[in-house]
A and B are shown apart, each in its own frame.
Chain A
Amino acid sequence: MSSFQIKISRFKPSIIDPPAFFSYELTPDADWTVLDALEQIRIHQEPSLMYRRACHHASCGTCACTINGVEGLACKTKLADLGTQAITLEALHCFQRIGDLVTVRSTLFQFMHPDWSCLQPDDKRDNHDFLLSGDGRAITKFENCIECGCCVSACPVARKNRHFLGPAVLSAINREKKKNPSTENDLLSLAAAPDGEPSCQRALVCSRVCPTGVYPAKHIAELRNQRKRTGNTA
C-alpha cells in the first residue's frame, strides 16, 4: 500500500497542553489495523506515544478511540477499510484523559456496579453436566459488553451531562435485572431516575458504534417501555 498520514491528537499534562495534533507518515502492509499503525509509530517514531491495548481482538475494550471522528476499536479497524489515507485519531469523549489517546473510564465504572454479573446463560447450548461443579448450573458465556466506552463517548446526551448514567450502564442494568429478578425493582428505580433512561434522546448512535453488538438503544427502549407499563418512577 502507499503511504498513510496518521494525525494523532496528543496530550501530556502541562507538556502538550492544550492538546495538539501531530502527524506521522507510514507505509502499512495491506492487512494492518489502526492498532498495528500505533504500535509501529511508537516503536519507530515516537516512543512516548500513549495508547491502550491488550487483547488485540475486540475482547478487552482498552484500545477504543475515535477514528476519523467515529468511536471504534483500533484493534479491529483495518486501515484499508477506512476509505482514505488520511486518518485522524483522538481520545474518547466523556472520560478523563491522562495522556495522548489514553482515557480513564472511572466514570463508566462508577455506575457499573461490581456486583453486576459479567456472565450470561448461553441459551443456544444444551446444558450438560459439568465436571467440576456437578450442580447442573447453566452453561455460561461472557456478556457481549466489553465496557470499552464507545457508546458513552458517542452519546450526545452523555457529552453534555456528566451525570447521565449513559448507554453502557443502562444496558447493564437491563441485562442484570433479567438475570437476577430479585434486584428488578431497585434497578428499575435506578434506571428511571432523571439522569437515567428518561434523559436519553434516542439518538441511537450508541447502537451504531458498539463494536460487539450490544445494541444499548434496544436495552434503553426496554427500560423505557417497562417504566411506562408499570408507572415506576424514581
Chain B
Amino acid sequence: MEKIVIIGGGMGGAIAHDLALRGFSVVVVEKGELCCGSTGRHHGLLHSGARYALHDVATAAECMTENRILRTIAHQAVEQNDGLFVALDDADLAHYKPFIRTCNAAKIPYRELRVDEARRMEPELSPTIKAAVQVPDATMDAWRLAMHFFASARANGADIRPFSEVVGLLANNGAITGVEVRDHQRQATYVEKADMVVNATGPWAGKIAALLDIHLPMKPSPGVMVSMQPRLVGMVINRLHPAGEGDIVVPQRNQSILGTTAWIADDPDEVMLPAEHVKQMIELCAQMLPQLAHLPVVAAWSASRPLLVSAAEADPTKISRASQVIDHALTDGVEGLLSVVGGKATTMRAMAQKVVDRVCAKTGREIPCTTGHTVLKHYRRFFWR
C-alpha cells in the first residue's frame, strides 16, 4: 500500500494509528521528542464541549462525542472527575440559560446544582458563586493520551522517528515525492520517499509549507498556563461565561493548573512568557477558588494553539477551534501534500479520521475508519519491549 510520511509527532500519533489500522505504510518524523510541541503541553482538559457551548455548538458537540470515545479507548489516560461551570456575578448569570440551551443542543449531559450542593462537593469554591452546573469534563494526561496513539500505531507497524527534523519537501512535476530529514542522533541528512505527506505540525505548519513556497496563513496563538500546588479541587472548575482568559482550573495529580490567555505570535519557536499574564491569570482564577492567591507556583509555561488566521477575526479567543484538512493540490497545485490545521487534543482522533478519509479518497481506496471503537494500547507499551 501507499507510503505516507507524517510530519509532526503530536497529533501525528493519532493519524499514524488510523493509517496503520487501514493498512497504509506509515513513517512519522518529529524534530524533537514526541509531543514536544503543542500536543504535550496543554492544560490537560478533556473537553465535554461545554467550554464552547456558548459560541460554537458544532465544536461543542464534536468534543462531547470524542470525550465519550477517548474514555473508552484510552481510559488509563483520563481521570474520572467531571467538571463544574460556576457563575460569579450577574453578567455570568445572564449566560446561564443560553448555556443550558446550547448544552442541550450539543447533547452534553449536565446537572444543575444548588450552590450549597456545589460547595459541598468542592469546598474551596468561592462562597460568592451564584450558580453551578456539572458537566462531563475530565482531566487527561496530555503525554499519556498521545502516547497511547503512538504505542498502538507502532504495534501495527508504523515507524516512529523522534529527533528527526524535516528540512525539505521534495516535489517533481508538481507532485510530492518525499521529504528531506535531518537525523539529529546520527547528525546526517537523508531522503525519505513518500507517496503522500501529511503536515501535522500544528503551529509550525506554516514553516513546513514554506519549504515549498506555499503560503499557509497559520499563526501560533500562545496561551499561558500556571501550575500551582496543591490540588485544590477534585473536578475541573470553569467560569460560566463565553470563553475568555483566566477562566479554568484543571486539577491534575497534586497540582492545580490555571488557564489561560491568548494572543497571536509570529514564530512558534520564540514564544515568551509574559510575566503580567501569570499574575493576571492567578487573579482571575482566584475569583473562583480564592485559595489560589496564596499558593506557590510550580511552573509557568506557554503553549501555542495552531490557528488558521483569517483577516476577518483578530481576537484569538473567537477564531474557530474546528480543524481543517487542506489539500494543497486544490489550493497550491501541489499533489500529494495535506496540511491539518486548527483543532485540539480532545478531537485529535476525529481530526485524524478526517485526514485519513482524505488520504483514502486521494488514493482511490475505500477502507472504513475503525479508531472510534478500537481500544488503544497502553502508553507503557510504547517503551515496553
Contacts and interface: CB of A to CB of B under 8 A. Distances in A.
- Please classify the interface of chain A as helix (H, G, I), strand (E, B), loop, or mixed, using the class held by over half of its residues: loop
A62 B33 contact: yes
A160 interface: no
Contact of A55 (B143, B300, B381): B143
A60 B77 CA distance: 12
Interface string A130-171: 111100011111111011000000000000000000000000
Contacts of B135: 131
B121 interface: yes
A135 B378 CA distance: 24
B253 A59 contact: yes
Contacts of B186: 12-13, 15
Given A15-B187, A50-B184, A52-B33, A75 B142 contact: no
B180 interface: no
Contact of B227 (A13, A58, A113): A58
B255 A139 contact: no
Given A59-B252, A98-B185, A102-B163, A132 B136 contact: yes
Interface string B165-187: 00000000000000000001111
A33 B383 CA distance: 27
Contacts of B330: none
A141 B251 contact: yes
Contact of B185 (A50, A131, A143): A50
Contact of A141 (B81, B142, B298): B81
A213 to B, nearest CB: 7
B309 interface: no
A131 B134 CA distance: 8
Interface in B38-97: 40-41, 44, 68, 71, 76-77, 79-82
B206 interface: no
Given A53-B36, A126-B121, A131-B110, A76 B298 contact: yes
Interface residues of B, number: 60
A54 B269 contact: no
Given A48-B184, A130-B80, A57 B257 contact: yes
Contacts of A113: 380
Most B Cβ at <10 Å: residue of A47, A59, A139, A141: A59
B109 A131 contact: yes
A108 B253 CA distance: 21
B144 interface: yes
Contacts of B348: none
A139 B234 contact: yes
A162 B44 CA distance: 35
Contact of A104 (B34, B36, B81, B383): B383
Contacts of A140: 79-81
B213 interface: no
A25 interface: no
Interface in B329-385: 377-378, 380-381, 383-385
Nearest to A105: B383
Nearest to A121: B80
A113 B32 CA distance: 27
B105 to A, nearest CB: 17
Contact of A132 (B68, B120, B298): B68
Contact of B40 (A60, A115, A130, A146): A60
A128 interface: yes
B311 interface: no
A50 B187 CA distance: 11
A213 B254 CA distance: 9
A50 B299 contact: no
Contacts of A130: 80, 82, 136
B141 interface: yes
Contact of A59 (B184, B255, B381, B384): B255
B330 to A, nearest CB: 34
Given A50-B163, A132-B71, A12 B187 contact: yes
Closest 4 CB pairs of A and B: A54-B40, A60-B143, A125-B234, A56-B301
Given A99-B184, A140-B81, 9 more contacts: A12-B187, A59-B253, A76-B299, A112-B384, A113-B380, A114-B378, A117-B76, A131-B135, A142-B139
Interface of A: 12-13, 15, 31, 33, 43, 47-48, 50-62, 75-76, 98-99, 102, 104-106, 108-110, 112-115, 117-119, 122, 124-126, 128-133, 137-144, 146-147, 212-213
5 contacts: A59-B143, A60-B142, A76-B298, A131-B111, A132-B136
Interface of B: 32-36, 40-41, 44, 68, 71, 76-77, 79-82, 109-111, 120-121, 134-136, 139, 141-144, 163, 184-187, 225, 227, 231, 234, 251-255, 257, 269-270, 273, 275, 298-301, 303, 377-378, 380-381, 383-385
